[in-house]
Amino acid sequence: MENKFKQALEKAKQVYPLQGIINCPYLGQVTLTSEGFNHLQNKRNKEPRNIREQILKLHLLPKALEVIKKSGTLQEYRVQLEKFGGKGKDGLSKTKKVEYWGFHSIFGEAKDRKIVVVVRRVGDGKMTFWSVLPHKKFNNQKLYDDGIDED
């Protein structure tokens, strides 16, 4: 499993140029940052994802970048306030407006696999790649168990 992870990580690093920019037909420029790449391996609280989940997300990365380049239609949008940084002297946490855009893509020979690609913007900052994940409610797909490297 560790060897499979190392291979997936190396391949992902080759297709993910840090500080690169992708043009998205719907959003315009989407920036690739180390924060987005790290989110594929770690949860929001910096706790590492399990190894199988990391491998899956790393394998899906090339497909995710392709989806961003081609997406002209938005499937999901969410905006919320999120905590940033530690608590201040007053005991309160600072918050920022965070927006999320979700683009769905169906693929595979039988068109039986679906992923969601997430782009995020914090405050008035740049739109950045944030994540890729299998859509759980699509034809009972089992990307997590079966792996994605066959495609």
* Residue 93 is assigned to a structural domain of this protein: yes
Domain that holds residue 126: 2-146
* Residue 151 is assigned to a structural domain of this protein: no
The pLDDT value given to residue 149: 43
Other CB atoms within 10 Å distance of the CB of residue 83: 11
For the chain, what is the domain count?
A: 1
Q: Which one, of 48, 29, 12, lies nearest residue 132 by Cα?
A: 12
Q: Write down the pTM of the prediction.
A: 0.84
Question: What is the helix (H) or strand (E) element at residue 128, kind and residue range?
Answer: strand 128-134
Which residues of the chain register pLDDT less than 70?
Answer: 136-151
* Residue 48 is assigned to a structural domain of this protein: yes
Q: Tell how strand 93-107 and strand 128-134 pair up.
A: unpaired
* Residue 133 is assigned to a structural domain of this protein: yes
Cα–Cα distance between 72 and 86 in angstroms, integer?
A: 37
The pLDDT value given to residue 137: 57
The pLDDT value given to residue 102: 96
Cα dihedral 68→51→143→7 (10° resolution): 70
> How much is the CA Rg of the chain, to the nearest whole Å?
16
Cα–Cα distance between 29 and 43 in angstroms, integer?
A: 25
Cα–Cα distance between 12 and 38 in angstroms, integer?
A: 11
